[in-house]
Amino acid sequence: MSASVARKWIELSWLRKGNKQIPLPEIIFEKLSFASGCCYKPVKRELQIDNRFWDLSRGLIIVDPSFDDRFLLNGIAHEWRHHWQHMMGINVVSKWVSGVDYKKEIIRFFTVNLAEMDALIYSIKKAPDDLSILWYEWIIKSRKETI
């Protein structure tokens, strides 16, 4: 499914195989200033974005629509994995450090947080894109250099 189609109609069965007990989160496309995507775990409250309120009872995935189709689908897979992690009781806390060497920050970000590494590997498996594969290669190469 292309992201162009996904933007009009979100169908997540390609991600949810084997995980039918997990509630499907709402997916919305909004410009984000801090990331290309994010995931809100299911809670009994609403989130206001501009003048609209979104129910968080099943979770919410927000994806920035300004990227190409492959990156967008990879981002949906990545954020779905975080949704799955939340539902399995895995604590997902990530902190991106701005203003440092980009490649070093990618390596640090994914290696200090196993939930992020898991989401990266999952997204590459489900919806590979060139940038995520490059990040994974940087991480693997950095690990080989430290051995």
Residue that has been written with the tokens 């990331």 in this structure: 35
Q: Considering the entire predicted model, what is its pTM?
A: 0.83
Range of the domain at 131: 3-146
Q: What is the pLDDT of residue 5?
A: 43
Count up the domains in the chain and report the number: 1
pLDDT tens for the chain, 147 residues long, are 444 444 444 566 666 676 778 888 888 888 877 778 889 989 999 999 888 899 999 999 998 888 888 888 899 999 999 999 999 998 877 777 777 899 999 999 999 889 999 999 999 999 999 999 999 999 999 987 765
Question: Which are the contacts of 96, defined by CB distance < 8 A and separation ≥ 6?
Answer: 34, 35, 105, 109
